[in-house]
Amino acid sequence: MKTIKDLFSMPHQDIRTLVLKQNNYCCQECKATNNSQGYFSESGLWNPCDKFMLNWARQNGYNIVTIHLNVLLSPEFFKSHNSADVRLLCRKHAAVWKNTNRVKLPYAAPEKR
């Protein structure tokens, strides 16, 4: 089986498949599974729903979402190749993670013509 260190020689879809399998197809923060449907409660907890619960949630005004997991690499991953720097997160937690782990690139002003 391939490991995290093999990521640089793998196509993107193979990397995603490897990371999904290693994390049991779950978000590392809220444990939501890939392609599951449900809603986030007011306290931020993920509530997966079956088809009967989906109807109940819609009738009670909950925002139903389908979870699509994202594979994210931290800037440290490119230096250390450590599997701890590879994250599998739902969109909600990926947005928070990206804001706290943003790569600071030097800004170059466009040239004047």
What is the per-residue pLDDT for 95?
A: 86
For residue 51, tell me if it sits in a domain.
yes
For residue 113, tell me if it sits in a domain.
no
- What is the token pair recorded at 43? 């306290």
The tally of domains found in the chain comes to: 1
Collapsing DSSP states into helix, strand and coil, what is residue 60? coil
Confidence of residue 111 (pLDDT cuts 50, 70, 90): low
Confidence of residue 5 (pLDDT cuts 50, 70, 90): low
CA angle at residue 59 from 56 to 65, to 5 degrees?
Answer: 75
What is the per-residue pLDDT for 107?
A: 46
For residue 58, tell me if it sits in a domain.
yes
More reliable by pLDDT, 46 or 100: 46
For residue 90, tell me if it sits in a domain.
yes
- Going by C-alpha positions, the residue among 26, 12, 16, 24 that lies closest to residue 67 is 26
For residue 107, tell me if it sits in a domain.
no
pTM over 0.95: no
| Mean pLDDT of the chain, nearest integer | 79
What is the per-residue pLDDT for 25?
A: 93
The Cα–Cα gap between 90 and 67 comes to 6
For residue 106, tell me if it sits in a domain.
no
For residue 103, tell me if it sits in a domain.
no
Percentage of the residues of the chain whose pLDDT score is greater than 70: 73
Range of the domain at 13: 4-98
More reliable by pLDDT, 91 or 102: 91
Q: Provide the b/e sequence for 8-42 (b: ≥16 CB within 10 Å).
A: eeeeeeebbebbbeebebbbbbbebbbebbbbbee
